[in-house]
Amino acid sequence: MNKELKFDEQVNVTKPKLPPFQSYVEKIKSVWDSNWLTNNGPIHEEFKQKLKTYLNSENIELFVNGHLALETALKTLGGKGEVITTPFTFASTIHAITNAGLKPVFCDIEPENFNIDSSLLEQHITEHTKAIVAVHVFGYPCDVYKIEEISKKYNLKVIYDAAHAFGVTVNGKSITDFGDLSMFSMHATKVFHSIEGGILSFKNRDLAETLKSMKNFGINSHNDDIEMIGTNAKLNEFQAAMGLINLKSIDEEISKRKKIYSIYIRHLKDIKEIAYQAELENIAHNYSYFPILVENNKLRDFLFEEVKKYNLNLRKYFYPLCNDFSCYDYDSKQTPVAKDISDRILALPMYSDLKEEAIVKIIKIIEHETNIFNKKMLSVLY
Ligand SMILES: *Cc1c(COP(=O)(O)O)cnc(C)c1O
């Protein structure tokens, strides 16, 4: 290793953004006056209104986290059946589907943007198919128009795991415009956060009452009876306060990340073993992550291990694939593209206060260790 490149402090892939301490304290002060801590309090309501405007969505409901929001959304489908989804996602997507009593059917992904391959969707549709659960991986929108076309043709619901896609637009339209329902995660490590939190944005306004009831033990506003099996997934006032403050600076946050993205690609161009995602036309991206695709699995694993000596923690994100988890009985052989991507993917640090100096250092470390790897491979050959 090259000692000069070592970071003094641990550098991770994400770093939660905290607003100025005083601004948070001021926002939560009213909780001590109102004594209203959770259950649709005034800060929750203010947050909800502001999110409707920002996401350009008429119907949203807030949840304690993204996972329970997604699980609740899936339960509104009612009954058993199959959903077509991707293995290249966070464990949450597949657990939510399974916990909702549905069976995930894995469709392979596109090698360019790592999203579900819409050209393969139809071959997975059976009489049991209820919905398509697609993920806007790393904030890059799925093939939303094709997915809409297929869902109409077969009368399927479309639920987007938009956990990574807060603030993204397609042809100037909010990402919430696509699908029946979209879930956003507001976890501390996401682009936009409320400590923990989840948002469901949906088209059918009648769902609002159902979702409100489901996240509050099935309790409803019209009678004493409990008509459905609910859960507890309410967002509290302290989360809403954090979200409201962070929402004020979200555009600034995204533009800082855009700069970081451009610094990365400027420097990475010279390393031929590394590929990265190009900017897409007509998409306003949120630069939620900076994934790279390494030439082969051996080099990926080598880099992942070796960079730790520099106090640099990269992430194999997403690895392993969900259809390789031992808690389930599926097989990644059926999704060869996803398997290949998952074996070569590596996420680099991406957060707004990442300095140019640090980015340059990260790239030098990768370059240096790639050269060491290549020399090793050569010595094995000869
Ligand atoms: C973060 C994440 C979730 C879960 O969101 P939480 O708010 O952490 O519960 C679901 N799906 C994906 C793809 C995620 O990255």
Which pLDDT tens digit goes with each residue over 266-312?
Answer: 999 989 999 999 888 899 999 999 999 999 999 999 999 999 999 99
The whole-model pTM stands at 0.97
Report which of 207, 159, 164 is spatially closest to residue 182, judged by C-alpha positions: 159
Distance between CA atoms of 102 and 118, rounded to whole angstroms? 21
The backbone torsions φ and ψ at residue 227, rounded to the nearest 5 degrees and listed phi first, read -95, -15
> Which pLDDT tens digit goes with each residue over 148-193?
999 999 999 999 999 999 999 999 999 999 999 999 999 999 999 9
> Which pLDDT tens digit goes with each residue over 34-71?
999 999 999 999 999 999 999 999 999 999 999 999 99
Question: Domain spans of the chain?
Answer: 3-15+250-381, 21-248
Verify whether ligand 1 is closer than 6 Å to residue 187 (CB atom): yes
Give the residue, out of 67, 135, 196, 289, with the most ligand 1 atoms within 8 A of its beta carbon, to mutate for a pocket test.
67
Residue 137: CB atoms within 10 A of its CB come to 29
- CA dihedral of 20, 24, 26, 28, whole degrees rounded to 10: -170
Verify whether ligand 1 is closer than 6 Å to residue 92 (CB atom): yes
Q: What is the mean pLDDT of residues 367-379?
A: 93
184 Cα–ligand 1 center, Å: 8
| Minimal-distance CA residue to ligand 1 atom 6 | 66
DSSP structural state of residue 116: B
Give the residue, out of 92, 137, 192, with the most ligand 1 atoms within 8 A of its beta carbon, to mutate for a pocket test.
92
Give residue 57's pLDDT.
Answer: 98
Handedness of CA 89, 91, 92, 98 (dihedral sign): positive
Give residue 79's pLDDT.
Answer: 86
Give residue 46's pLDDT.
Answer: 98
Specify the CATH superfamily of domain 3-15+250-381: Aspartate Aminotransferase, domain 1 (3.90.1150.10)
- Given a cut of 90, whether residue 100 has pLDDT beyond it is yes
> Annotated active-site positions, please?
190
Distance between CA atoms of 338 and 333, rounded to whole angstroms? 9
Q: What 3-state class would DSSP assign to 293? A: strand
Domains 3-15+250-381 and 21-248 alike in fold: no
- Its CATH class, for the domain covering 21-248, is alpha beta
Are the CB atoms for 360 and 7 separated by under 8 Å? Answer: no
> Which pLDDT tens digit goes with each residue over 237-249?
999 999 999 999 9
Report which of 362, 336, 347 is spatially closest to residue 139, judged by C-alpha positions: 347
Verify whether ligand 1 is closer than 6 Å to residue 95 (CB atom): no
- Given a cut of 90, whether residue 329 has pLDDT beyond it is yes
Confidence of residue 254 (pLDDT cuts 50, 70, 90): very high
Residue 248: CB atoms within 10 A of its CB come to 12
Give residue 24's pLDDT.
Answer: 98
42-55 helix and 237-248 helix, angle to the nearest 10 degrees = 40
Only one residue has tokens 């939560």, namely 28
